[in-house]
Structure 1
Amino acid sequence: MTEGPSHLAATATAYDAVAALYADLFRNALDDQPLDRAPLDVFAELVRTTGGGPVAELGCGPGYVAAYLRKQGLDVFGLDLSPVMIDLAREAYPELRFEVGSMDALDLADGTLRGIVSWYSLIHTPPQDLPAYLGEFRRVLAPGGHLLIGFCESEGEPVTPFDHKVTTAYRWPIDELAALAHAADFTEIGRMLREPQAEGQRFRQGRLLMRRQ
């Protein structure tokens, strides 16, 4: 991606460079992680039981979360900044739709979606820009639509940058992230914190499940 703020171009370039390795590493990431599957399962059930409809995984990477949500019965598509990631996702899951794009400027009409999953994709957003991203999520979600955010939690510290293996990322206090979502017109439904489990994980993991008011 050559347009937009510099951090978007840097993020796309960084993920393009490691896309094949990243896809191999995370292809089966959910298989032995029931505490990661659980919030995705709850999200899927909420979307289904409130009438269904289109769902977007924003920052989908190689597509494994979108593919999991499809198995849970959702009409899901994926979007990512990295063209190489999108190529890999299309190759691995040809039955699903994947597009190149940015979470902060979605090519969707207002109220189009019934659900959004941002699974460790907002972590690369500079903190001062996050309210605008959440506002864009609100715009494209229908009233009553659901949002699930997966992120690295700051464990009592303020918003903290860390040396993510691909590019700069940020850890968030779960209360602060929930407050920003509330300010963007989301109501919290539930949250989860879990300690590092998978090999190489260093930080507590957070999940926030929200509903658009």
Structure 2
Amino acid sequence: MTDPSYLTEVRESYDTVAAEYARRVSEPAGPDPVSRAMLAAFAELARPMGPVADLGCGPGKVTAHLSALGVRAFGVDLSPRMVALARAAHPELRFTTGSMTALDIGSGELGGILAHYATHHTPPRHLPTVFAEFHRTLAPGGVLMLAGHLGDGEHLRPTRAYGDHPVSYASYLLPPDRIAGLLEEAGLVVTTRMVQEPEGGSGRRSGTFLAYRPRSCGS
């Protein structure tokens, strides 16, 4: 089956900017204590459940951070060049290429999924497919943390990014209620929603969601 065209745009764009992206993106142990605390909470919840997939892992910085927190983490990214950078920087961890629309992971294999600023390039009509894959691959009781940009339905299409490299991907900024609703429609139970306003009134809002796959239909 042919990949949706947006996946080709995202893959080619991140292959183009991979090296500059890896240089510019900060370490997750950096100065944002709220995001750091949410990752720590996710790690504590997911650690006893089983392996954790960092989907859209990029150069592997967050994957390595989770590993340092005692999580059995591995990374998956659409961009082969991002995966190559992650493998070079963190040879002790496992990184593979793959798409969130059709994960090469068995049903119920994961104790946790992290999608950290990884789903905003997905057109909203494809999010049900992505979130269904999250539900399928999580074990009963498995935990999802989804973090990313928020908006009111904006559709942005930059032409250059990360050091003025040409890109062709789009970004879709959805409100938190829409994201939570789509997660719940996929069969996940949302337990936490956190919205961070941009500092100084400039920039974009961001949100973090914690959810889990129920252990049974009645839980």
TM-score normalised by structure 2 residue count: 0.89
Task: Answer whether contact 1:30 1:36 (CA < 8 A) is retained.
Answer: no
Q: Is the 8 A contact 2:66 2:73 kept in 1?
A: yes
Q: Say yes or no: does 1:205 pair with 2:206.
A: yes
SS in 1 for 2:112: strand
Alignment-derived partner of residue 74 in structure 2:
77
Counterpart residue identity of residue 186, structure 1: L
Inter-partner Cα distance in structure 1 for 2:156 and 2:147: 16
Q: SS in structure 2 opposite 1:60?
A: coil
Shift of 1:133: 0.5
Task: Give the CA deviation at 1:27.
Answer: 4.3
Equivalent residue for 1:160, pick from 151, 154, 164? 154
The offset of 1:176, in angstroms, is 1.0
Q: Secondary structure at the match of 1:123?
A: coil
Structure 1: which amino acid aligns with 2:138?
Answer: L
CA distance in 1 between partners of 2:30 and 2:199 (Å): 13
| One-letter amino acid of the structure 1 residue matched with residue 186 of structure 2 | A
Partner of 1:98: 95
Q: Which residue of structure 1 aligns with residue 134 of structure 2?
A: 137
Matches within 5 A, 1:3-82: 4-28=3-27, 30-48=29-47, 51-82=48-79
Give, in whole Å, the separation in 2 of the partners of 1:27 and 1:62: 11
Q: Distance in 2 between matches of 1:70 and 1:168?
A: 31
Long gaps (5+) in structure 2: 162-166, 215-219
State the partner residue of 2:119.
122
Q: Which runs of 5 or more structure 1 residues have no equivalent in the other structure? A: none
Cα offset, 1:196, TM superposition: 2.2
Mapped to 2, the partners of 1:46 and 1:105 lie a distance apart of: 25
Find the aligned partners of 2:49 and 2:123 in 1 and give their Cα distance.
32
Superposition TM-score, scaled by structure 1 size: 0.91
Q: Which residue of the partner structure matches residue 187 of structure 1?
A: 189
RMSD of aligned Cα (Å): 1.5
Aligned length: 204
More divergent stretch after superposition (201-210 vs 72-81): 201-210
Q: Is the 8 A contact 1:52 1:74 kept in 2?
A: no
CA–CA separation in structure 1 for the residues paired with 2:199 and 2:61 = 19
Compute the displacement of 1:162 (Å). 2.1
What amino acid is the match of 1:202?
G
187-196 or 109-118: which moved more? 187-196
Contact 2:28 / 2:65 at 8 angstroms: preserved in 1? no
| In structure 1, C-alpha distance between the alignment counterparts of 2:60 and 2:83, rounded to whole Å | 8
Q: Which amino acid aligns with 1:98?
A: F
- The runs of at least 4 consecutive aligned structure 1 residues that moved more than 3 Å come to 163-166
1:97-145 deviation digits (Å, cap 9, x = unpaired): 0001111111111100000000111100010010111001100000110
Which residue in the other structure is 1:169 paired with?
A: 171
